[in-house]
Homo-oligomer: A and B are copies of this chain.
Amino acid sequence: MDKPKIKIRFTVSYDGTDYCGWQKQNHGHVKSVAFVLEEALSKLLNEKIGLYASGRTDAGVHALNQVCHFETTKPESFFFNIDFCWAVNSKLPHSIVVKDAWIAPPEFHSTLSSEYKTYRYIVRNSNRPSPMLHRYAHWVRNPVDIDYLNSLCDLLVGTKDFKSFQSVGTEVAHTVRTIYKARWIQKKEGTLEFRITGSGFLKQMVRNIVGTQLHLERTRENPEKFSEIIGLKDRTKAAAPAPARGLYLWKVYYPLELDNKCRKLYKDKLMVKD
């Protein structure tokens, strides 16, 4: 008889700069984030671990709170007797950090249970680039009109066919998605942040939206042009994607009743609250 398995859910943050993305079938010299995590987990748990995540991120894209899960034959007591995050992190490079972990109920699935997600895209909008932001933001030299960009965001919200913002490469059943919120925010001088929350995102959808919005802003197009591009359902009508370095998978949302069934793993009572 197979050993009983338990599910572990965890949150992970990564700097995507040096990875080929969350996952790739054939990776060459450059490793995927999932591959590195699976290796660390398999070593720690002394069994082959297969990892699932809320979704894939592209090469160079970062994550603040990617949500993953895996199954293990280790008993619950194993996880309560070690600081699981600390133990995994000690086997990971500095570019990947496990932040939080829970025992999840059997019905939890990081990909299938996710309800909606938030991405953020960071733009450095300043005369000069910043060496410290080179890996973490897209640099745009000329002053960007944030009110114009937000007028485009108003045209984005709703349930629409976003085929124009889907890059080729992944087959999906359909290209209709719901965007709940989309907003550009002026952060401290020289930094703009685009925040978008939706039911799901097509391949490179956020980068294609940002690339197209910045292109329309630069060319002083009538905002209606943006609705037109969406309506044409044709990828060739939109602009090139904005660079991966500015994009962050920010948060993944699950149904509250599922969250409530997850039991957090604590070890050190003195730890700073996450």
Contacts and interface: CB of A to CB of B under 8 A. Distances in A.
A102 interface: no
Contacts of A89: 128-129
Contacts of A14: 131
Contacts of A99: 128
A142 B270 contact: yes
Contacts of A118: none
Nearest to A140: B272
Contacts of A94: 129, 131, 134
Contacts of A136: 132
A66 B272 CA distance: 35
B272 A141 contact: yes
Nearest to A12: B131
Interface string A1-34: 0000000000001110000000000000000000
Nearest to A131: B15
Contacts of A132: 13, 15, 62, 136
Interface in A83-136: 85, 89, 94-100, 125-132, 134, 136
A173 interface: no
Nearest to A83: B127
A168 interface: no
A263 to B, nearest CB: 18
Task: Name, among A62, A95, A132, A274, the residue most crowded by chain B CB atoms within 10 Å (CB to CB).
Answer: A132
Interface in A230-274: 270-274
A169 interface: no
B95 A127 contact: no
Interface string A46-64: 0000000000000000100
A159 B271 CA distance: 39
Contacts of A13: 128, 130-132
A92 to B, nearest CB: 9
A143 B269 CA distance: 12
Nearest to A15: B131
A168 to B, nearest CB: 29
A80 to B, nearest CB: 17
B127 A274 contact: yes
B273 A127 contact: yes
B130 A97 contact: yes
A22 B98 CA distance: 35
A143 B272 contact: yes
Given A89-B128, A99-B128, A272-B125, A15 B62 contact: no
Given A13-B132, A127-B272, 4 more contacts: A13-B131, A94-B134, A142-B272, A143-B272
19 contacts: A13-B130, A13-B131, A15-B131, A15-B132, A62-B132, A89-B128, A94-B134, A95-B134, A96-B131, A97-B128, A97-B129, A125-B272, A126-B272, A126-B274, A127-B274, A141-B272, A142-B270, A142-B272, A143-B270
